[in-house]
Every structure is written in C-alpha cells, then in structure tokens.
Amino acid sequence: MGLTFISSIIFATVVAGTPLIIVALGELVTEKSGVLNLGAEGIMSVGAVVAFAVTHHSGSPMLGILAGMTAGMLMSLLFGISALTLMANQVASGLALSIFGVGLSAFIGKPYESIALASVNPVRIPLLSKIPVLGPALFEQQGLVYFSWFLILAVAWFLYRSKAGLILRAVGESPVSAHSIGYGVVKIRYQAVLFGGAMAGIGGAFLSVFYTPMWVEGMVAGRGWIALSLVVFATWRPGRVMIGAYLFGGCMITQMFVQGSGAKISIPAQFLSSLPYVATILVLVLISRNRSTIRLNSPASLGQPFLPDA
Amino acid sequence: MWLKFEQRPEPSKTMSYVSPILAVALMFLSGLLLFVVLGKSPVEGFKVFFLNPLKDSYGIAELFLKATPLMLCAVGLSVGFKANVWNIGAEGQLLIGALVGGGIALHFEHTSSAILLPAMMVAGALGGMAWAAIPAFLRTRFNANEILTSLMLVYVAELVVSWLVHGPWMDPDGFNFPQTKLLSPEATLPILLTGTRVNAALLLAIGALLVGWIFMNKSFMGYQMKVAGQAEHAGRYAGFSAKRSVWIGMLAGGAMAGIAGIAEVSGPVGQITEHISPGYGFAAMIVAFVGRLNPIGIFFSSLLMALLYMGGEQAQQYLALPSSISKVFQGMLLFFLLGSDVFINFRPRFIRRRK
C-alpha cells in the first residue's frame, strides 16, 4: 500500500466525516438546552438543495453555503414553533420536520437533477500542506473542513467556558430552576434550535456543493440520523464527536478502500454501503448498554416540553 | 394584545377530534397558497390535486388500493405509539416482509396449492416481525434508542432489496432490469372488483383495523400499553412490564408492515423491485397520528393520505409539478396536526401585554 494511497484514504475519511461533525455539533448544542430535534435529516436535505440551487445560479459556493444555512434555520424555526411555542411532542415534531424536509427537498430539487457544479478548489494551508502524507490529507481541504475543526473548539469553549454556555446547560438540566432565576427558557431553547438548524443546513450544503457537487433526491442518505446517533456516541461531549465522525466517515469510504487495496474479493457493493448504518446500530448498543453513562451525560430535561408560567 | 396559552384543567376530548379536521383545513389552505406561489391557478390546482383522482369509480378503487398498505402499517404502528414505543422503521419492515413473502412465491413458483397465498402473507408478517425484533431486542436488552436503530434498519433493508434484485434474485430473462420474475397468478392476491386493481389485501387491512380496535379497547394487554404510554410511573407501579410494551409495540408494527409489503408485491407491483413502496412506512406514521391512533380514525386518514399520493401523480401529469409535492403536503399535514393539538391541553387567551 503506497503512501499516496494512505494519504488519500485519510483525505476521504476527513471529507466524509466533516458534514457529520458540523451537524452533530449543532444537534449537540440543541440537545444541551434540553431539546431533542430529530429533524436533522430533513434540515440537511433542504440545506443541500437550497445551497445547490443558489451555488448553481450565483456561481458562488460561499453564497450557496449561506443560503443552505439560512434554509436550515428556517426549517428549524418550524420545529421551534411546533415543539417550543405550541409545546407539541418533540419526537413527533422532529419526525415531522424530517418527513417534510425530505419531501420538500425532492420537490425543490427536481429541476436541478442531472446538473453538476464545477468542483471547488481546495484551500491549501501554507507550510502544513507540505508535510508528507498528512499534509495533502489534512491541509489541502475545503474551507468547511477547517471550519469543522474550529467549530469543535468553539462549541467546547462555549459550553464549558462561557457564561452563556453555562446558562444553556442549566436550561437543559433544569428548565424550572433556570426559569425561576429569570432566564427565558423558551428563548434560549429557540436560539439553540436555530443554531442546530444552521449547522445542519451547512452540513447539507457541504454535501451538495463540495462532496458530490450535484443534487440527487435522497442524497443525504441517513447522514442526519447518523449525526443524531453520533451525539449519543459522543456522550454529549464535543471532542468525542470528531472521533465518532471520522469513524463513520471511514465506514462510508470502505468501497474506495476495498477497490484501492487491490484485493481480489468480490463483496456486493450494497454490503459495503450498509456499513455506516450497521456501525451506527453497533455503536448505539455499545454506548447505551451502560445505562448510567447515558443518564449521567444526557441533559436531564432532554425531550420534555417546558411550560412557561406553569 | 398577546396570545397566551392557558392550561386546561383536563385535556379537551372535543378538541382531540377537532384538531385533525383543523389540520386538514389548514393543509388545504396552504395548498392553495402553494399553488399560487408556484404560479398555478389555485382553483385549477385544487381540482387537479384533490378532485381529479376521485372523478370515476376506477379512481375511487385506486384510492382504496393505495390506502390499504397505509391502513395496515398505521394500525400496527399505533399500537406501539400508544405505549410511546417509537418504531419509525416501518418502511424497512415492509420491505423485509415483501422479500420474505415474495421469496416464498418465487421459490414455489410452480405450485398451485391453495395455501401458497396464505403462506406468503404469514411469511411477510414474520419477516416484518423479525426486522422489528432487532430494535426491540436492542432496546430491551441494551437500552439502545429504538428510534435510531429502527430507522437505520430502513437503509439496511433497502440495500438488501437492492442486492437481491441486482444479484441472486434478478429475473434472468428481464433484460438486466433490477427486478425479479413476475409472481405467478396463484401467488397473486385476487382482485375484489373486476376492472380495478383493488385486491383482497383491503379485506386484510379492514380485518387488521377491527383486531386493532378490539386489542386497544377491549383487551387487558391493550389497556396496559395505554397506561404505560400515558403514565409511565403508574404503569410501572401497577406492575405492567415496560419491556413487554416495547416487544408488543414493535412486533405489531413489524407484522402489519410486513403484510403491507407482501401485499404490494403480490398485488399491484407483481414482483420484487426497488420501488415496492413510495414511502408508505413513513406516511403511515402521519396516518396514525392524524387518525388519533384509533383504528376508525386511521381508516379515514389513510384514505386522505392515499388521496395525497394520487394528487401528486395528477399534479405531475397535468400541472407539470414533481410528484414529490404529495410529500410536501404530507409533511405539512403532520405539522399542522401537531400545532393544532395545542388546543387539546391549552386554551388560547388574548391578554394585554404588560409593560
């Protein structure tokens, strides 16, 4: 196995893991405020198609990402209205968002099928990209890859080092106490939900603008749900999201690995494609079997509606 | 003035029935708006989408044909949903049911035995149950969230179908199309009304609705599940097993979805392909909620959902809109329902905003 091959495997793993990191961190912040938004798949789908359309028409990937982010926020606003203002069941509201988003993206995306975007040149980091093997793998990536690394630090700092993060976590642990000392629980939860939506929108945009550069119905292919599982896997800690995301990213590129290794084994493509989903199930089992891990780490009020003035 | 929701002393029974009607009305309204936004005449759009499909008896038969898998899946899911068991993988259970039942039909393709069809249906149910048993086992044994595991298994099921129809089960005379041989007439469900496609699966679905109604309203086990769903602690205090609720909820959903799958294969689809279901397993969740998890409600909401599917096809044909518009309507309907449900527990009140 040549060094270039190893380098390209790392490169592809990082690329595949990037949208998972971004989406999962957004969801992590949402969940830390006590809100379970199962709509990531739908938000990503809409983010992907909107980003694709805007990039196609404007020629600017940057505008595309911003549009994907905005679309993601609008989608999560729908969830907020349902789950926070109207106090509907969060699980059902999230499911509704996923079903709606996947359908809406297929509807919007119909005219854009079979169009390809020009591939975007990567951002080379001077000096670092000269490191053998790791340089081309890690430092000749798209800007959003660096953004995902920055986001891990930013979210970790926000949650554990900033006052606003402390308040957010307090809202997630005990909304009644937070409310009684004067914090606007619903308002803070709205902000967390919008942040999650923005990140899921960017994650979707990454898929359609950089990863495949095209739009195909159903192209998100469960990544939103995998990102949700990733939050559980990471036991709600930002740093661990990265490990999990690259683990799943690795599962997603096994196809390339098998072909590149030159092994003369014929595995049906479908089996390799099912790996990320099977891995997700295994990982959920491994993490969840110890009930106290989940109980200690998950926000105490996760999934429960909050009634102001009740 | 400021709108505020005031908690009702107890949930309003009336509102729980008014809410789905309100949701449907809101869906119609925003549908009209959507047509305007898309530059179509709303009157024309409404006519094409909601009235065209029902203009003759063939259309009405198609409505019942499409409502059949939705009824089956939704009544099975409603058992679990009542107990807060979130099986969202009915689509995968439907596919595996279709594979197992269809596999029997393909394996015994030269049999003309009268038990072939019943055996296929049973095999479909068992296949769906087996697929649903995985998240049930992982939940009860390892505490793994059944929402995520059941959904992941949908993707796995799709890939299993894809592998079989591209590989071992592909029709050798099928010009390399990813599909199996057509099922023999003996393995095909009898048509109920000549000249239409509506078949005996509709009777199965109505039977399932009846059984579901008796189970949820007349059996002690159904009562235990409802208690477990509405008041977890009360259920535990009374000694009702939460694990059993998970198993029953998941298996009921899996069995019904499996039958829905094999009924499609041995009915309108006629073979196993990658397009057995246009998302019936997901739409069935909306059907179950809009039908208030009640078999009578599910009967009507599955007809409505079937109408949305047919409306999408009509819109594609006559309005040049993508047929996925039906999924937009389906999603809107669920959102409006969840939103309208606020009136069950809360009373809206306008208050003057304090400074």
Chain A: closest CA distance from residue B144 (Å): 5
Task: For residue A85, give its domain range.
Answer: 3-297
Would residue A303 count as lying in a domain? no
**CATH code at position A81:** 1.10.3470
What 8-state DSSP symbol labels residue B193?
Answer: S
Domain locations along chain B = 2-351
Would residue A158 count as lying in a domain? yes
Q: What local confidence, expressed as pLDDT, does residue A246 receive?
A: 95
**pLDDT tens for each residue of A33-87:** 999 999 999 999 999 999 999 999 999 999 999 999 999 999 999 999 999 999 9
What is the rounded CA–CA span in Å between residue B124 and residue B259? 5
Q: Among A99-113, A154-168, A249-263, B193-207, which is the least confidently predicted range?
A: A249-263
- Exposure on the CB side of residue B320, measured as CA atoms within 13 A: 5
Count how many domains chain A has: 1
Across the interface, do A281 and B153 touch by the CB < 8 Å criterion? yes
What is the rounded CA–CA span in Å between residue B1 and residue A308? 18
pLDDT at residue A1 greater than cutoff 70: no
B176 vs A53, B172, B314, B340, CA distance in Å? 34, 7, 30, 49
What is the rounded CA–CA span in Å between residue B216 and residue B260? 20
Strand ranges for chain B from DSSP E: 2-7, 346-351
Spatial CA neighbour of B147 closest among B90, B97, B76: B90
**pLDDT tens for each residue of B204-215:** 999 999 999 999
Amino acid at A191: Q
Indicate the SS3 state at residue B348. Answer: strand
Class of domain B2-351: mainly alpha
Spatial CA neighbour of A18 closest among A193, A245, A173: A245
DSSP string, B83-125: TT-----HHHHHHHHHHHHHHHHHHTTT---TTHHHHHHHHHH
A66 vs A15, A70, A71, A118, A200, CA distance in Å? 19, 6, 9, 18, 12
Pick the residue of A236, A252, A274 with the most B CBs within 10 A to test the interface with B by mutation: A274
Nearest to A104 among B156, B328, B342 (CB): B328
Spatial CA neighbour of A154 closest among A186, A112, A198: A198
Nearest to A92 among B148, B289, B330 (CB): B289
Q: What local confidence, expressed as pLDDT, does residue A263 receive?
A: 65
Chain A: closest CA distance from residue B41 (Å): 18
Distance spanning both ends of chain A, measured CA to CA: 64
Farthest CA pair distance, chain A: 67
Q: Please tell me which residue of chain A has the smallest CA distance to B6.
A: A310
**pLDDT tens for each residue of A125-144:** 998 988 888 888 899 899 99
φ and ψ at residue B3, rounded to 5 degrees: -85, 130
Would residue A302 count as lying in a domain? no
Q: Which helix (H) or strand (E) holds A123?
A: strand A123-124
What is the rounded CA–CA span in Å between residue B343 and residue B30? 20
Across the interface, do B328 and A100 touch by the CB < 8 Å criterion? yes
From first to last of the 355 residues of chain B, give the pLDDT tens digit: 567 788 888 888 888 899 999 999 999 999 999 999 998 899 999 999 999 999 999 999 999 999 999 999 999 999 999 999 999 999 999 999 999 999 999 999 888 888 999 999 999 999 999 999 999 999 999 999 999 999 999 999 999 999 999 989 999 888 889 999 999 998 999 999 888 999 999 999 999 999 999 998 899 988 888 888 777 778 778 878 888 899 999 999 999 999 999 999 999 999 999 999 999 999 999 999 999 999 999 999 999 999 999 999 999 999 989 989 999 999 999 999 999 998 998 888 877 765 4
Indicate the SS3 state at residue A93. Answer: helix
Spatial CA neighbour of A234 closest among A286, A278, A175: A286
User: Residues near B19 by Cβ (< 8 Å), separated by ≥ 6?
Assistant: B337, B340, B341, B343, B344
**pLDDT tens for each residue of B78-92:** 999 999 999 999 999
What is the rounded CA–CA span in Å between residue A222 and residue A215? 15
A259 vs A133, B42, B159, B193, CA distance in Å? 20, 53, 19, 53
Q: What local confidence, expressed as pLDDT, does residue A254 receive?
A: 81
Q: Please tell me which residue of chain B has the smallest CA distance to A309.
A: B6
Question: What is this model's ipTM?
Answer: 0.92
Tokens 């939050």 sit on residue: A231
Pick the residue of B147, B170, B286, B349 with the most A CBs within 10 A to test the interface with A by mutation: B147
Q: What local confidence, expressed as pLDDT, does residue A225 receive?
A: 96
Q: How many CB atoms lie within 10 A of CB A307?
A: 16
Spatial CA neighbour of A170 closest among A184, A154, A151, A149: A184
Across the interface, do A277 and B7 touch by the CB < 8 Å criterion? no
Q: What local confidence, expressed as pLDDT, does residue B8 receive?
A: 86
Residues of B in contact with A225 (CB under 8 A): 148, 151-152
pLDDT at residue A259 greater than cutoff 80: no
What is the rounded CA–CA span in Å between residue A303 and residue A305? 7
Residues of A in contact with B167 (CB under 8 A): 268
The confidence band for A267, taking pLDDT boundaries of 50, 70 and 90, is confident
Contact B330, B74 (CB under 8 A): no
Nearest to A289 among B142, B322, B327 (CB): B142
What is the rounded CA–CA span in Å between residue A170 and residue B316? 50
